[in-house]
Amino acid sequence: MRVLEIMTSPAVCVAPGVTLLCAAKVLSRKGIAAAPVVGDAGSIVGIVSEGDIVRGRLVPGPRRPHTVAEVMTGNVLTTRADADVDDLATAMLGKGLRSVPVVSDRGEVLGMVSRRDVMRALARDGNRIASQVRYLLDGYWGPERPWDIEVDGAVVTVAGEFRDESEREMVRRLADVIPGVAVVLTRGRGAFSVCD
C-alpha cells in the first residue's frame, strides 16, 4: 500500500511567524497533532506539534517563545506519496513520530500521514484480505460452508471443518495467492482437527 492511499490531503499548514496561540487553536479546531510549517517559497521548513507548543508555553519569563519558528522542529522526516506505508510506519515508530508530512520532489507539502492514518490502513487491509479469502473459499466450496477467518498483519488463520488434509492444503493455497498474505494457518473442527 502506498502513502498516497492513506494520507490526509490537503495538509493544514502554518507559517513560521504564526503565534503559538494561533497554532494551538488551528491544531485543536482541526483535531490534528501536528502541522507542517511552510515558508514563503511554499516549501516545508519544519513541523510544529502539540508537544512543541505546550513546551514553548511552559518557558517562564521574557524568554518564552511567541512564534511557531521558535519552537518548531526544523529537521523534518518527510515522505513521498509513492512510498510504502509499511516502510513509513517502521520509520515513524523508530523515531517516535506521530505525524509525517508528505512532500513533492520540490518540497511542497501534499499531505500528512498520522499514526491514526496508518492504523486505519492496517484495519482496512485486514478486512480486505479477509473478504478476499472468503470470496475464494466460497467460490471453491460454496457459500454454505462456514469459515472463520482472522487476519493479523500478514498472517491469515482459517478455521472450519476440514474433511482431510487435502482440503486444508487447498485452503492454504487459495489464501496464499492474495497480496499481503505471508502465512496461512488452519484450525480444524470435525474428523480432521489437528492445528498446524
80 and 150 together in one domain? no
| Residue listed under C-alpha cell 519552537 | 71
Last residue of a domain, one of 119, 135, 167: 119
Q: What is the longest distance spanned by two Cα atoms in the chain?
A: 78
114 and 153 together in one domain? no
pLDDT category, 189, cuts 50, 70, 90? low
7 and 99 together in one domain? yes
Residue 34 scores a pLDDT above 90: yes
Residue 190 scores a pLDDT above 70: no
CATH of the domain at 24: 3.10.580.10
Residue 45 scores a pLDDT above 50: yes
CATH of the domain at 160: 3.30.300.130
Cell of 22: 494561533
Pick from 54-63, 76-85, 113-122 the range whose average pLDDT is largest.
76-85
Distance between CA atoms of residues 6 and 85, nearest Å: 8
160 and 77 together in one domain? no
Range of the domain at 68: 3-119
**Within-domain flag for 137:** no
pLDDT at 146: 86
Distance between CA atoms of residues 46 and 51, nearest Å: 14
Distance between CA atoms of residues 184 and 137, nearest Å: 13
Last residue of a domain, one of 103, 119, 135: 119
The DSSP string of 111-152 is EEEEHHHHHHHHHHHHHHHHHHHHHHHHHHH-TTS--EEEEE
Higher pLDDT, 194 or 48: 48
pLDDT category, 65, cuts 50, 70, 90? very high
21 and 102 together in one domain? yes
pLDDT, one tens digit per residue, over 113-171 is 998 888 887 777 778 888 889 889 988 888 888 889 998 877 899 998 888 888 889 99
Last residue of a domain, one of 73, 101, 119: 119
Average pLDDT over the chain, rounded to whole?
88
User: Mean pLDDT, to the nearest integer, of 39-58?
Assistant: 92
